[in-house]
Structures are given as structure tokens and as C-alpha cells.
Amino acid sequence: MNLTDFKNRNIKYDWKTIFVGINENYFSKKAISDYAVESMENGDENEFAWGIPIEDLNKVMLEIKDIYFPQLDENSAFLIAENRKLRFVCLSKIKEECKEDNELLNKIAEFYENHHYPEDMLGFINYMPQEVPTTIADMVKRFEEFLKLEKDIVNSYS
């Protein structure tokens, strides 16, 4: 995933998004440089535009936290909002890229496993027992409804 995925969906992002996105493995460290260059083009000076050696990533992440949100609380509303934005963009991208329902459900299940098993996704995880008899089409429909609701929530953050 990259910043273009956010632009294509008209989802706002900032240093908090980059910070959370890297911590939660949505972005590579390249997102720091990409956003820094974007910021510089908009008149904001920062030191992160020139690339980051991999061994400096932890140091840079601490600098970003200290500069842009020093009062970070693990359960803060902004962390929840940023995670939700990142999840929405990632799942939207998965939906766009998958042509078959089975492939889509497999990719969603992979996302689910890699992102702390979000409980609100259980209704469309293909290997999880469902409360009622369920078809592939039912799970895809639940996923699409979920994505629509998530889009509304994410748009309310803007």
C-alpha cells in the first residue's frame, strides 16, 4: 500500500497515518520519504525527505512521534481512527484487485490474520464458523456491507 491509494479514495492522511501505517506494517519505510517530499512541496520543511537507512527507522519513528504527537497514548482516539483508515484503504484495494470471490475471501482472511484478528470482520472470514449457514456469496455481501459502513466512518474523520 502507498500514499496514492489514499489519494485515489480521497482519504486524508498525515504524519499520524504514516506513523501508524509503518508500525502496523501497512507501509514500508519509504512512506516516510514520500510524505516528507509531499510536505516539502506544500511548504513544510522537514528532515525526512532524503531517505532513511533501515538501521535508522526506529530512531526516525521516535522523532516523528516526538515532533508531531508527543502525548501519544496507546488507546488514543487518533490511533483508532488512523488504524481504521489504513484498514479501509487496504481492504478496498484488496477488493479492487481480486477478480474472483474465493480469491477475495482468501485475501481478506490473510489480512485478518496479519492484523490482530479484528472481531468485527468475523462474519466474512471464510475459515471461521458462522452463526448461520453461509455461502461464499453471503460472505462477500457481508464484506461489501462492512466496507460501505467503514467508508462512512472513515469519511467522518475528515
**CA triple 17-20-25, angle to 5 deg:** 115
Q: Which of 68, 95, 121 is the last residue of a domain?
A: 68
Number of helices followed by number of strands (H, E) in the chain: 7, 0
Q: Tell me the CA end-to-end span of the chain in Å, nearest whole number.
A: 20
Count CA within 13 A, CB hemisphere, residue 99: 0
d(CA 64, CA 123): 36
d(CA 2, CA 58): 20
Domain hosting 57: range is 3-68
How many separate domains does the chain show? 2
Supply the pTM of this predicted model: 0.87
Q: Has residue 144 been placed in a domain?
A: yes
Compute the average pLDDT of residues 47-62: 71
Q: Which of 20, 35, 68 is the last residue of a domain?
A: 68
User: Would you put residue 29 in left (φ > 0), alpha (ψ -120 to 50) or beta?
Assistant: alpha
C-alpha cell at 114: 496479519
What is the identity of the amino acid at 64?
I
Q: Has residue 8 been placed in a domain?
A: yes
Tell whether 122 and 88 lie within a shared domain.
yes
Compute the average pLDDT of residues 20-27: 92
Provide the pLDDT for residue 36: 84
Q: Has residue 36 been placed in a domain?
A: yes
Provide the pLDDT for residue 127: 93
Q: 72: which residues sit within 8 A by CB, 6+ positions away?
A: 65, 79
C-alpha cell at 65: 512521534
d(CA 62, CA 70): 9
Q: Has residue 118 been placed in a domain?
A: yes
For the cut 80, the answer to whether the pLDDT of residue 50 exceeds it is: no
Tell whether 93 and 141 lie within a shared domain.
yes
Give pLDDT tens digits for 77-103. 888 899 999 999 999 999 999 999 999
Tell whether 13 and 64 lie within a shared domain.
yes
Q: Has residue 73 been placed in a domain?
A: no
Q: Has residue 63 been placed in a domain?
A: yes
